[in-house]
Amino acid sequence: MGILETEKTTGVKEDIRQKEIVLGSLRQAVLQNLDSSIQTDQFLLNMGPQHPSTHGVLRVLLELDGERIKRSVPDLGYLHRGTEKIAEYRTYNQIIPLTDRLDYVSAMANNYAFVRTVEKLLQLKVPERAEFVRTIVAEIQRIVNHLFWLGTQALDIGAMSVFFYTFREREELLDIFEILCGARLTTNYYRVGGVESDIPQHVIDRLYKFIEAFDGNIREYNTLLETNRIWLARTKNIAVITAEDAINFGLSGPTLRGSGIPYDLRKFEPYGAYDQVEFDVPVGQNGDIYDRYYIRIEEMRQSAKIIRQCLDKLPSGPVMTDDHKVSFPEKGRVMHNMETLIHHFLLVVHGFNVPPGDTYCGTETPKGELGFYIVSDGTGKPYRMKIRAPSFVNMGAFDHMAKGYMIADIITIFGTYDIVMGECDR
């Protein structure tokens, strides 16, 4: 009986298949006829500046052909606050909190990029422990940033649950930031010549515990996404960029590494404690959104690895340079010693002088190469400060990467840059 029924159903199926073939060819014929008669107009669509998935205020003008993007023109500057102009009127220490507001989801990385440039101009050596603490905090920031990115990217695509998982871990790390510097987002933790406060033992213990569990957490996120059919359909072979184009456009960070270029300043020009730890730079193959997702996941694992090695090797000693030309004197002495008080006062009011000259210094932040170009005229304020923001440069390739994809992909392409408008518009 079973056999009979199967024969029967296959007969029906065959019938349906035949009908489908007929219908299909009919449809094709109709479409072919239509093709010549349909008049298409240029269709312009305005997206933003207020749109939940633009991660800030970004406006894009889209020229559409049906649902396909023919051309897109990003309109930037809605969050332009003139950081570069303000910096010309501030002492170097006053600029550090301004850098917090560039890429406001990874403020520590911005602080790091800025103080490194000033230290390069000053030719200042930072104590060993400070270098390790800086590296640890920078890598914590990388994990925080990638967790935030993963949650929001998945949320943009429609997978809401990932967001809750990633924010659970992000919260733990932000608590650590709060212990270190009193703030969760606008941290203002790095100083020219070191860091503001030492990393206490209970934070070290907490970090060890976090790293212990973190690999399992990443596996947990991956169970939600790695082979999720919707995720694959929305990310595989979308926004593909070849290696040559990616270099030519000056892309950096995971956006460049997704195309297979292992350009990572931590390896190319090691700074901090990166030359004393072992880690890999993950690269992609296809240069699509999925590869860039995978790179960021892998980078989180590598960051955890770096943090563990740094914690193991953490040397003892001061976390701030003893060069009192740039570092503040001890608070206890300021209250009792007149000269120290004057010195403290001058550092606050006038700042420290930086020898004349100019330099560029790039730092590998979670989003890519964040560089500062500072021209000093020998005074306590920069003569000119230029911020090379990875989000801004990556946005230059937006038209190239969005061309030919569907209108719904626009949101995932914003997401794949990990764009933050605070940094893009400065």
Partner 1 sequence: MHPVAESLEKRFAGMFLGSRESLGDLTVYVRAENALEIFRALHDDPEYSYDYIVDVTSVDYPMDPERFEVVYILYSLSRRHRIMVKVRVTEDSPVVDSVVGIWKGAEFMEREVYDMMGIQFRGHPDLRRILMPDDYEEGYPLRKDFPLVGKGWRDSFSFVPRFQDVRPEIDGKKGDSDSYFPV
Does 263 engage in binding with partner 1 (CB under 8 A)? yes
Hey, is 61 helix, strand or coil?
Answer: strand
Residue 231-250 contact track with partner 1, rule CB under 8 A, x = bound: --------------x-xxxx
In the complex, the smallest distance separating the C-beta of residue 86 from partner 1, rounded to whole angstroms, is: 7
Residue placing its CB nearer to partner 1 in the complex, 180 or 393: 393
349 vs 346: CA distance, rounded Å: 5
**CA atoms within 13 Å, Cβ hemisphere of 113:** 35
Q: Which token pair is 172?
A: 């733990």
Query: Is 170 or 292 the residue whose CB approaches partner 1 more closely?
Result: 292
What's the closest the beta carbon of residue 274 comes to partner 1, in angstroms?
15
**Cα–Cα nearest to 195, from 264, 127, 254:** 127
The runs of H, that is alpha helices, within 314-367 are: 331-334, 338-349
CB of 341 to partner 1, least distance (A): 30
Q: Is 46 a binder of partner 1 (CB under 8 A)? A: no
**Closest CB to partner 1 among residues 121, 304:** 121
Angle, alpha carbons 286-268-288 (nearest 5°): 15
Q: Assign 3-class secondary structure to 110-134.
A: HHHHHHHHHHHHHCCCCCHHHHHHH
DSSP H/E element including 47: strand 43-47
The Cα-based distances of 336 to 211, 349, 350 in angstroms read: 44, 20, 22
Q: What part of residues 333-392 is at the interface with partner 1 (CB under 8 A)?
A: 357-360, 362, 369, 371, 373, 375, 383-384, 386, 388, 392
Structure token digits, residue 105 = 């989801």
Does 49 bind partner 1 (CB under 8 A)? Our answer is no
d(CA 225, CA 231): 6
Of the candidate spans 73-81, 91-99, 164-172, 294-302, the one that interacts with partner 1 by CB under 8 A turns out to be 73-81
194 three-class SS: strand
Kindly state the smallest distance separating residue 135's Cβ from partner 1, in Å. 21
Position 328: which residue type?
A: F
Can residue 329 be called a binding residue for partner 1 (CB under 8 A)? no
Q: Of 77, 97, 260, 329, which lies in the binding site for partner 1, with binding defined by CB under 8 A?
A: 77
Type and span of the H or E element at 190: strand 190-191
Using CB under 8 A as the binding rule, whether residue 400 contacts partner 1 is answered as yes
Question: Do residues 63 and 410 lie in contact, with contact meaning Cβ atoms separated by under 8 Å?
Answer: no
When the beta carbons of 376 and 416 are compared against partner 1, the nearer one is: 376
Which CB sits closer to partner 1, 142 or 257? 257
125 lies in the site for partner 1, by CB under 8 A: no
* Contact flag: residue 396 with partner 1 (CB under 8 A): yes
Does 89 participate in binding partner 1 (rule CB under 8 A)? yes
Rounded CA separation 197/121 (Å): 23
- What is the DSSP-derived secondary structure letter of residue 195? E
Phi, psi torsion values for 75, nearest 5 degrees: -115, 105
CB closer to partner 1 out of 113 and 251: 251
**Contact region for partner 1 (CB under 8 A) — 7-15, 75-83, 180-188, 196-204?**
75-83
Minimum CB separation of residue 360 from partner 1 in Å reads: 5
Question: Per CB under 8 A, does 300 bind partner 1?
Answer: no
Cross-strand partners of 376: 357, 382
Give least dist CB 257 to partner 1, A: 12
- Supply the minimum distance, in Å, between the C-beta of residue 88 and partner 1: 8
Query: For residues 167 and 383, which CB has a smaller minimum distance to partner 1 in the complex?
Result: 383
Dihedral, CA atoms, 144, 147, 152, 154, nearest 10 degrees? 170
Among 120, 184, 206, 343, binds partner 1 (CB under 8 A): 120
Beta strands in 297-367 (DSSP E): 357-365
Contacts (CB under 8 A) with partner 1, residues 173-212: none
Residue 82 lies near partner 1 (rule: CB under 8 A): yes
Binding site for partner 1 (CB under 8 A): 76-77, 80, 82, 84-86, 88-89, 120-121, 123, 245, 247-251, 261, 263, 268-269, 357-360, 362, 369, 371, 373, 375, 383-384, 386, 388, 392-393, 395-397, 400, 425-426
